[in-house]
Amino acid sequence: GNSVTQMEGPVTLSEEAFLTINCTYTATGYPSLFWYVQYPGEGLQLLLKATKADDKGSNKGFEATYRKETTSFHLEKGSVQVSDSAVYFCALSDGRFQGAQKLVFGQGTRLTINP
Amino acid sequence: ETGVTQTPRHLVMGMTNKKSLKCEQHLGHNAMYWYKQSAKKPLELMFVYNFKEQTENNSVPSRFSPECPNSSHLFLHLHTLQPEDSALYLCASSQDFYGYTFGSGTRLTVV
């Protein structure tokens, strides 16, 4: 079945460092890909998405490019801030499921940014 | 304001209790979902509703009973839970392929 694999965490960086969180997927067809972020004590928030190959999603300085040839959707940010500390989830849509979309999530990567 | 509101935010219940979690969305979405988030485990899809009809029950034990009276409201009725059911329960809604909108979750502790 469809699956998502994220790099193991936790990841700890200093402020203004470059961030990459790796995400690869296994899927049939052409899924949409997503990154969600979860701040402490909160639910998940959509960070960015891409719906077809070579699309680049971007938001709040974060970027990810849908790479079909490598089945990857790595999250990057050029200069992280303390406020970026959170858990990041990569996800893919499992195709339309009778009108609802079923998302498959990776295990999450905890990111801590030190001042 | 996320558009998806879950109540209560925290719940402590005994194994013999009966309680309910509530989720409400004001986004006009057609689909609603329950997910379970446990420590060190991936998010687990529990139930899917589309236009208030259940379209998936992901092998969830019968001690969890969902109810969707209309497209805006979703409940999760709980009874005779086990300590391993302690987790963050997340509700989400969606429309087409735009991704989910999540609520803030209910932190459930079973004692």
Q: Which of B4, B94, B99 shows the shortest C-beta gap to A100?
A: B94
* Mean pLDDT of the region A42-56: 93
* Mean pLDDT of the region A103-108: 92
* Mean pLDDT of the region A83-92: 96
Output the six-digit token pair for A73: 């959707």
Instruction: State whether B48 and A102 contact (CB < 8 Å).
Output: yes
Output the six-digit token pair for B52: 């208030």
Under a CB-based contact definition with an 8 Å cutoff, are residues B104 and B92 in contact? no
Å between A18 CA and nearest CA of chain B? 26
Sign of the CA dihedral running B48, B53, B58, B61: positive
How far CA B31 is from CA of A52, B52, B54, B98, in Å, comes to: 23, 8, 10, 12
Å between B50 CA and nearest CA of chain A? 6
Instruction: State whether A96 and B99 contact (CB < 8 Å).
Output: no
How far CA A108 is from CA of A27, A69, B37, in Å, comes to: 18, 23, 11
Q: What's the confidence (pLDDT) of residue B104?
A: 94
Place of tokens 């050029």: A78
Chain B residues with CB under 8 Å of A45 CB are 2, 102
Mention every residue, 6+ apart, whose C-beta is less than 8 A from residue B65: B76, B77, B78, B79
Å between A111 CA and nearest CA of chain B? 14
Under a CB-based contact definition with an 8 Å cutoff, are residues A66 and A30 in contact? no
Q: Model confidence at A96, in pLDDT bands (50, 70, 90)? A: low
Tens digits of per-residue pLDDT, B66-94?
A: 999 998 999 999 999 999 999 999 999 99
How high is the mean pLDDT of chain A?
A: 92
Under a CB-based contact definition with an 8 Å cutoff, are residues A53 and A106 in contact? no
Please say if the pLDDT value at position B1 is more than 70: no
Instruction: State whether A102 and B49 contact (CB < 8 Å).
Output: no
Please say if the pLDDT value at position A83 is more than 70: yes
